[in-house]
Structure 1
Amino acid sequence: QLNALGKGVASQPFVTAGPGGVSDVVEGAKVRLSALHATLQEQHRVLQRTLERARLHTEDTQRFFGDQTTALLAADEFFGYIAGFTGLLAATSIEVQQNPKRWQRFFSAADELQGEGAKPRLKRSLSVPPESAQ
């Protein structure tokens, strides 16, 4: 058998009494229980370290994207905003790919706003991936 960490554990019958009687069974149960307790304590320590690392990474990420002077959001709220943003970005990308003529006018308007002295932008069709247009 394997314990929760994948280490081998001797398989012993729990209720059969040998030459030592019930005291051997109880002693065997205590040994197995002690081993299980040690395994659970180690798993708890690993999870606590992992949780702390995740918390620090979340705080660093929020500081990178946000205002350094404001209070940090709860991790699930912050990452919910990022998930929502990426979902909207994906939906917008699909919309642009499905209706390129509808969105081409925005590229033309951007070119007009840049004026005469601006460096020309690489012109390409919205239906052609950027790496194909070069």
Structure 2
Amino acid sequence: MKTLIVSFVIVGGLIACITFFEILVIRLLGLQFHSFRDLFIFIVSYVLLEIPLSMITGAIPKVLKSFGMIKTSKGIVPFILDISLTFGLIVVLDTVMEGIEFSWYGSLLFALFTGFISMKLKKADDEPPMIDSEEFKEIGNRLLEKKKT
């Protein structure tokens, strides 16, 4: 009997969380989906595509900083890249997937939200060294030493 009650509580809690998430997303972001399978595929596709793409867009400001093209690898450049990546990825997935419909303002709102979170998280990151600095040369020497062994 205990197992049955615990199972119902777990399933009920899971259903309540999914319902809350569904209502929040539909109302706030304008996301509409035909089935939970479509929503699941959308989320999995988004995560699997976003991870490698965000690694690339995260490296761009650091490279630009190392070459002296921008003053800092934090700030507006990575913020714009993060927003563009998120918005573009959602628009592409929305276009490709028939069972998902995402409003443009919902996509932009989600992109801004994730961009602000990313900007806050990146504030703790160290700045990359300039290409002509001693620190950069030391890193290059260490990599050459590891390559020789």
| Higher fraction of helix | 2
TM-score (norm 2): 0.35
TM-score (norm 1): 0.38
Q: Which has the larger radius of gyration?
A: 1
Structure with the larger RCO, 1 or 2 (CA within 8 Å, 6+ apart): 2
